[in-house]
A and B are shown apart, each in its own frame.
Chain A
Amino acid sequence: MSEPKRGVKADRAGDGFWAGLALPGVVWLCVFFLLPFYVVLCVALGSVDPILLTPRPEWNPLEWNTSAFEFVFDGLFTPGAAFETVFVRTFFYVAIATTLSLLIAYPVAYYVARYGGRWKGLLLMGLIAPFFISYLMRMLAWINLLQDDGWVNKVLIWLGILDAPHNWLDGRASSVILGLVYGYVPFMILPLYAFLDRIDRRLLEAARDLGASPFEAFRMVTLPLSMPAILAGIAIIALPMFGDYYTPDLLSGAPQTSLIGNQINLYIRGGQQEPVGAALVVALMLFLTVLMGYYLYATVRSQRRLGG
């Protein structure tokens, strides 16, 4: 986030004015974003009242009690344990859904950016439309389609692929992954489009002039150039997917497709096990921070490779 060095005249006195302007927003974020994280830590490292069974957050870091953390981390690192199974499943669902999203998003973004022509405005409207349709409504649309007498079964039976209606909404990994891809792919297309739209076509012409086939030009120029956008697109959809619990709830609802988000939802809102839920949230945050770190590292590396 470094600013260009020029900018408003470097008068020190003005700085206070700008800081004052930012102050309400900064205070807001400290109270409603940073402070809540401290509370999550205090709940995760607190205790449960032995009689009332209500969670008691421990505000003093010197008296933090790590039993909820030990429970969660034991469960996460013991093969076959409940948390480990759920976490591995979440990772695979997110990885598969992200890969499928990229396979869908890249060609579409590429086409609209490069060949959109006079249809570009209309095509973009089609790409932006899902942003204005609630995610939950889009899942509802798939519940309608996937139910026993829904159109998916009707079409598949009409085509002769199925003999009898298939129970799509009863704990199928495929339905959950379909929902994830359908739900998140628009968020990947737009950044890819914005980036591909800015690639200088003269670079491709140069590659062709130097003897590259069209496919080689794509592989050696467009694809490496768009690497930062691909990584950004992956990060944009993978991070929220790791916290998703409503897609599996709506399109499956069965324990065999339960994700890490379902566990958090269950522990935080379902019973007295708030410290376990809070510890799971901290574990998820740690994992995502590592992923973000890798993303930043990979982005810097791919930009350096291009000499940028």
Chain B
Amino acid sequence: MGRFRGWFANPWGKPRFLILYTALYLVWSIVPILIAIRFSFNEGRSRSTAQGWSLRWYTGDPDLSVLHDSELSSALLQSLRLAAIAVLVTVPLGLALAVGLTRWRGRGAGTSRGISLATLVTPEIVMGTALLLVFIHLLTFVPLGTPAQAIGHITFSLVFVVLIVRGRLLAIGPEYEEAARDLGASRLQALRLALLPMLVPAIVASAIIVFAISMDDFVISAFLSSGTSTDTVPVRIYATGRTAPTPALNALATITLALTIVIAAVGFVLWRGVRAARGQTGSTVGEFAATEGL
């Protein structure tokens, strides 16, 4: 027990217990995913017995592969479609909202901040039910399927853009804008020429986060789906994960994972580039997590 406590808390000693604990956590966290990926390449139908390697479940199988099973390929397209719409709408909308809310002092500002934060603590099932009922009973001109799902994705990802941009705005401070105004810029010019370029890293980070949480979303996509044709990848995994699973489902999940990681990595490199170009220090993953308020 003495040695255990020594490992646990000595700020200068080698924390062997903690090293082991963290290593075990990382193994536990990552190995199940690696196993799932491995079986997406299985030659046979099993998802637990290694039966050679093949691309059968990706492209080879004429009926059941991701390429040829229209339910699987349409799910992938629907996930990407919703994520693209979410990024394109949420980032500008959230950017304006964040700048406005951070600078706006008058009546209504506090309430508006409160509302945007409330979306963060609302469980998805509550938001999903609320949106489903509003589209069924009141805003009936919004059809279920892609339009309703896109509105849902924009609504729950808005707050993430607000938080990321706002963190950056508070770090920048008002001085640059004031200097631009003193030099004769209008409010809009000061915003566009002084503030916006400094916000580019936060904008890139927001886009990565919105893309990732949109791809990850299950409840909103499921509640607002109009049928199999608008099911996303997570909805498809939910629908067939227990009843009719084949390694094609693993293949679908693996493709989604790879796409998400590639896009996030491209975004991260872009983020590093724009930060370096602006002379801001720090460009590691840790810096990304810390400065962009992850």
The chain A residues found within 8 Å of chain B, CB to CB, are 1, 3, 6-10, 14-26, 28-37, 39-40, 42-43, 55, 57, 104, 107-108, 110-112, 114-115, 120-121, 123-126, 128-145, 147, 149-151, 154, 169, 182, 185-186, 190, 194, 197, 201, 204-205, 208, 213-215, 217-219, 235, 239-240, 242-246, 249-250, 253, 261, 264-265, 268-269, 274, 277-278, 281, 284-285, 288, 292
Contacts and interface: CB of A to CB of B under 8 A. Distances in A.
B103 A126 contact: no
Contacts of A111: 15, 18-19, 21-22
B210 to A, nearest CB: 13
B99 A18 contact: yes
A133 B33 contact: yes
Contacts, number: 316
Given A21-B100, A24-B97, A114-B11, A121 B284 contact: yes
Interface residues of B, number: 103
Contacts of B245: 140, 143
Interface in B192-248: 212, 215-216, 218-219, 223, 233-234, 237-238, 241-242, 245
A144 B250 contact: yes
Nearest to A21: B100
Nearest to B114: A1
A243 B124 contact: yes
A278 B223 contact: no
A112 B106 CA distance: 42
Interface of B: 5-6, 8-11, 13, 15, 18-19, 21-22, 25-26, 28-30, 32-33, 35-36, 39, 46-49, 93-94, 96-97, 99-106, 108-110, 112-119, 121-127, 129-134, 137-139, 151-152, 154-155, 158, 162, 174, 177-178, 181, 187, 212, 215-216, 218-219, 223, 233-234, 237-238, 241-242, 245, 249-250, 253, 256-257, 260-261, 264, 284-286, 289-290, 294
Given A141-B33, A144-B36, A284-B126, A149 B155 contact: no
A281 B129 contact: yes
Contacts of B115: 26, 29-30, 33-34
A8 to B, nearest CB: 5
Given A24-B93, A134-B253, A143 B125 contact: no
A245 B241 contact: no
Contact of B93 (A28, A138, A239): A28
Contact of A107 (B18, B137, B285): B18
A213 B32 CA distance: 39
A129 to B, nearest CB: 7
Given A36-B131, A278-B129, A132 B9 contact: no
26 contacts: A14-B187, A20-B100, A25-B94, A26-B112, A26-B115, A30-B115, A32-B151, A32-B155, A39-B134, A111-B15, A128-B289, A131-B216, A137-B253, A137-B257, A138-B33, A141-B33, A144-B48, A151-B35, A213-B5, A214-B8, A235-B121, A246-B219, A268-B133, A269-B132, A277-B129, A285-B126
A218 B9 contact: yes
B242 A40 contact: no
Interface of B is mostly: helix
A114 B121 CA distance: 29
Contact of B174 (A8, A110, A129, A214): A8
A266 B134 CA distance: 18
A289 B177 CA distance: 39
A108 B22 contact: yes
